[in-house]
Structure 1
Amino acid sequence: MTAPVLDARALNRATLARQLLLDRSDLPARDAVSHLGGLQAQEPQEPFIGLWSRLRGFQPQRLDEMVTGRQVVRTHLMRRTVHLVTADDALAWRSRHDVMLRQKVLAVYRRELAGIDLEELAEAGRKVMSDGEPRTMAELTRALVDRWPEPGPRPLGELLVAGLLAMVQLPPRGLWRVKSGVRNLPYSVWLGRAPDPLSEDAADPVGQALVRRYLAAYGPAASADLRAWCGLAGLPAAVAAVRGELVTFRDERGRELLDLPDAPRPDPDTPAPVRFLPAFDNAILGFHDRSRIIDDAHRGLSVAGTRVALVDGRVAATWTSDADGTVTVTPLTTLSRTDRTALTEEGQRLAAFLSDGESDRASITPL
C-alpha cells in the first residue's frame, strides 16, 4: 500500500500541535520540558520565552525553582549545544551522546588536540572536580594546563567540559533575569549519580527511546530530521527496532516520514495563532528539512540566533526586545492588517511578560 502524502501545511499543523504552539498547554513546566525533549539554552533567558509561548499562565519563578531544585539541568547534549533538559533525561541520555560530543569538539580542534590521550585527560579532569567545588572552564584548565600545555586553554577546556566530562552548568546561570557566568559540576555531584551506563544491547534501547520521544514532539519526520535534532549518527538500529510500532507517510518530495500512530495530526486548515519564538528554538532547528515552518529564503535566521514570530504557523517576522521590555517586530513579508494587529497584541503580552508587567509596548516596523 502506498503511504499517504502529507503536504507542507499538514506537516506544519502537526508540528505546531506537537510543539505546543497550536494551542497553549496546561502542562506543568517540567512535563513540557520533558515532552519537548529539552529546550535550546545556550542563550540563558530563551527557555523562559519558549515556555511562555507554549504554556498557559507560565510563571518564570516556576522554572527557577526547577533549576535550583535540580529537576532540570543545563548541559551539553543534542548537537553539542547547551540544552535545558529534565534531570531524568540528562542521566538517561548523556552516555548515548558521549561519542558524538567528543567527536564534535575534536573536529573543531583537530590540530590542537592531536595526540591527546583522552582517557588520561578525562581521568585528570575527574580528579580535579572530585572535591565537589564548582569551577569555570578556565579554572579547570588552569589546573591541567601545565600537564597539557600544547592545545591551549580553549581547546582543552571545551574538550573537558563538553566532550569528556558529564557536567551541569549551575545556577544562578539560567535563572530569570539573572546574568551569570558558567560554573560547572559533574552530574555525579549535582544530581547525586553518574549518567546511566551505555547499553551493550545492539538494539540500542536508549536510541529507541529517543526515536519515540522525538516523534512525539516533532513528528511526522524523516530519519534525517531525527539526526538533525540529536546529532547522533548511529540510530538506524533503533529506528529499525521500533519501525513495527510506527506508521509511515510521504512528504511532497517523496521522503519517508515516520510517526507514532496516535500522535496528533490536525486538519491542515486548523487556524494557527501568532507565536513568538526564542532564539535557536528547536521547533525550527529540530529538523533537517525546515520548510514545514520556515521558507528556504529565511533558513539562515534559524542558525543566527534571530528571534522569530510565526503567522499562520510560519516564520513571517523577526523580533527584538529592549532593556525596558519594549518588543519591536520586523516583518519578513507583506502582512495583512489582521495579522499585524495579531502580532501587535501578542507582542504586547510578550512585553508584559519580559518586563514583569512594567511595560506592554510593542510596535511593528514598516516593511
Structure 2
Amino acid sequence: MGIVREINITNMNASEIPRLRLQNTGLSHSPFKSPSNAVSHLGAVQAQNFAAAKWALGLRVKNSTDEDIEKAFNEGTILRTHVMRPTWHFVVPEDIRWMLELTAPRVKALLAHYNRKLELDDALFARSNAEIARALQGHTYLTRQELKTVLTSIGIETDVQRLAHIIIWAELDGLICSGPRRGKQFTYALLEERAEKAKKLDREQALAKFALNYFTGHGPAQLKDFSWWSGLTVKDARDAFDLIKSELKQATFDGKTYWFPAHEEVTIPKSTSAFLLSIYDEYTLSYKDRSDISEARDIERMISMGNALTAVIILNGKVAGTWNKALKKSKVEIRLNPFRQLKEDEQEALGSEVIRYGKFVGIPAVLVK
C-alpha cells in the first residue's frame, strides 16, 4: 500500500531518485496487467537468467505467478533474443524488428573480433542462416542441440562457442528468436512466424521510441545511463535523447542531470519498502552510474562477481544486502545476508517479500538462518 503525493521538482532532492525509479520501473505498486505490458513499458528486460527474469516480471505484474510468465513466453506475447550489449532480453513482438535494426549493427561490431578468432565470416553466416531458416519453417521449433545437428549435417563445425555465435548472428539478423519451451529446454523459432505483427519504424522514429521507453521506464536517469543501457554509440544516444527531451523533466544534483517523465502523482509506500531482486533486474542493472542505489559501490562489486552472486536485497530503494534460495521438495528456503543489523520494520517487510516469492513460484517459501 502507498500514499499518493506530487513530487515538487523545485524542492526535489537526491533522495527522491530511488523512490521515483521504484515507481517508474513498476516495482513500487505492481501496475501492469500482463507480462507484455511490463516489457513494453520498460522497452526491454534483461533475461540471460531466465528464472530471475520471470521473477522480475512477476514483481511488476499484479498477482502474477511463475506459470503466468511462462505461459506468456510460450505463447510468444513476450520473446527472448540477443538485442543489446549483447545479452538476452525479453522484448514484445511488436518492437522486436525495429529494435534489432537499431541495435544489431552495434552488437555485431562488438562480436566481430570473436567471430574472426572463431573463423566465422559472412559467407558462413549466409549458409548457416539459410539452413536454420529451412529447418524452422512452418512453425517448427528446435533446441540448440537440434540446430547443431542441422548445421553439422551440411558440414559447418559447431563447437560450443561457434554454435553460440552462429545462433546469436541469426538473432541479430532478425531471422530467429525464442520459441516455446519444450519441458525445461529452450527452442528457437523463425521471427517472421513468431512476430507477424512486428512494427517497422524509420531510424528517427526508432531512436525516439527507444529513448522515451528508457526514460519513462527507468527515470530519473542520466544520458550516460541510457547510452550504456541501449548499447548505442554516444552520438546515437545523444541524437535519440534530443528527439524526446522536451517530453521529460530534469533535475540536477552534484553536477549530474537526471531526466524523467512528468508525473502528477507518485506512489510512495507508507512503510518500509523491501524487495528481493535479481542482480540483473532493470532496477539494479540499467544504469552506468549506480551510486544512487548503492553505498560504497557494493552493487558494482556484486555485478563483477557475475553468476556467483545473483540476488540483492533492496530497502527503501537502496541495496542493503544479498539473498539466496534453495529449492527443496516441498518448499523453497530463503536466506538473507543483510549488510547491517535490520530494524524490526525492515525484517517484517522482507518477511512479506519471502511469502510473496513463495506465492509466485507456487510452493511455500520459508526464511532460514
TM-score, normalising length: structure 2: 0.82
Given candidates 169, 179, 188, the residue that maps to 2:178 is 169
- The aligned residue for residue 216 of structure 2 is 216
Map Cα deviations across residues 3-30 of structure 1 (whole Å, 9 max, x no partner).
9696442111110010122223253332
Amino acid at match of 1:82: W
Map Cα deviations across residues 318-350 of structure 1 (whole Å, 9 max, x no partner).
111211212111112222122123212321332
- The aligned residue for residue 355 of structure 2 is 348
Native 8 Å contact 2:311 2:323 kept in 1? yes
Query: What CA distance in whole angstroms lies between the structure 1 residues aligned with 2:169 and 2:265?
Result: 36
- The aligned residue for residue 190 of structure 2 is 186
- The aligned residue for residue 335 of structure 1 is 342
- The aligned residue for residue 315 of structure 1 is 319
Query: What CA distance in whole angstroms lies between the structure 1 residues aligned with 2:193 and 2:150?
Result: 19
Map Cα deviations across residues 108-142 of structure 1 (whole Å, 9 max, x no partner).
455334xx432652354234322324344454455
| Residue 23 of structure 2 corresponds to residue 17 of structure 1 | yes
Amino acid at match of 2:129: G
Query: What CA distance in whole angstroms lies between the structure 1 residues aligned with 2:272 and 2:155?
Result: 57
Range with greater deviation from structure 2 (122-131 or 97-106): 122-131
CA pair 76-272 structure 1, distance change in 2 beyond 3 A: farther
- The aligned residue for residue 3 of structure 2 is none
Give the match's secondary structure for 2:85: helix
Native 8 Å contact 1:284 1:294 kept in 2? no
| Superposition deviation, residue 144 in structure 1 | 4.6
Query: What CA distance in whole angstroms lies between the structure 2 residues aligned with 1:59 and 1:95?
Result: 33
- The aligned residue for residue 276 of structure 1 is 276
| Superposition deviation, residue 198 in structure 1 | 7.1
CA pair 69-122 structure 1, distance change in 2 beyond 3 A: same
Amino acid at match of 2:81: T
**Which sections of structure 2, spanning at least 5 residues, go unmatched?**
1-8
Range with greater deviation from structure 2 (22-31 or 221-230): 22-31
Query: What CA distance in whole angstroms lies between the structure 2 residues aligned with 1:25 and 1:144?
Result: 44
| Residue 301 of structure 2 corresponds to residue 297 of structure 1 | no
| Superposition deviation, residue 293 in structure 1 | 1.8
Native 8 Å contact 1:42 1:82 kept in 2? yes
- The aligned residue for residue 134 of structure 2 is 130
Higher fraction of strand = 2
- The aligned residue for residue 74 of structure 1 is 80
Query: What CA distance in whole angstroms lies between the structure 1 residues aligned with 2:264 and 2:50?
Result: 31
| Residue 263 of structure 2 corresponds to residue 251 of structure 1 | no
- The aligned residue for residue 95 of structure 1 is 101
| Superposition deviation, residue 266 in structure 1 | 6.4
**Which sections of structure 1, spanning at least 5 residues, go unmatched?**
none
Report the identity percentage.
Answer: 20
Map Cα deviations across residues 268-290 of structure 1 (whole Å, 9 max, x no partner).
x9755111113411111100011
Amino acid at match of 1:54: R
Query: What CA distance in whole angstroms lies between the structure 2 residues aligned with 1:6 and 1:100?
Result: 37
Query: What CA distance in whole angstroms lies between the structure 1 residues aligned with 2:41 and 2:144?
Result: 31
Number of residue pairs the alignment of both structures matches: 345
| Superposition deviation, residue 31 in structure 1 | 1.0
Structure-to-structure mapping, 1:45-124, within 5 angstroms: 45-113=51-119, 116-118=120-122, 121-124=125-128
TM-score, normalising length: structure 1: 0.82
Amino acid at match of 1:237: D
Native 8 Å contact 2:57 2:69 kept in 1? no
Query: What CA distance in whole angstroms lies between the structure 2 residues aligned with 1:126 and 1:158?
Result: 17
Give the match's secondary structure for 1:249: strand
Map Cα deviations across residues 295-319 of structure 1 (whole Å, 9 max, x no partner).
3133222352421121122111211
Map Cα deviations across residues 209-267 of structure 1 (whole Å, 9 max, x no partner).
01000011111211110122121223222222223333332232x12222333476667
Native 8 Å contact 1:4 1:250 kept in 2? no
Range with greater deviation from structure 2 (79-88 or 61-70): 61-70
| Superposition deviation, residue 196 in structure 1 | 5.6
Structure-to-structure mapping, 1:138-177, within 5 angstroms: 138-141=145-148, 143-144=150-151, 153-165=159-171, 166=174, 167-172=176-181
- The aligned residue for residue 244 of structure 2 is 242
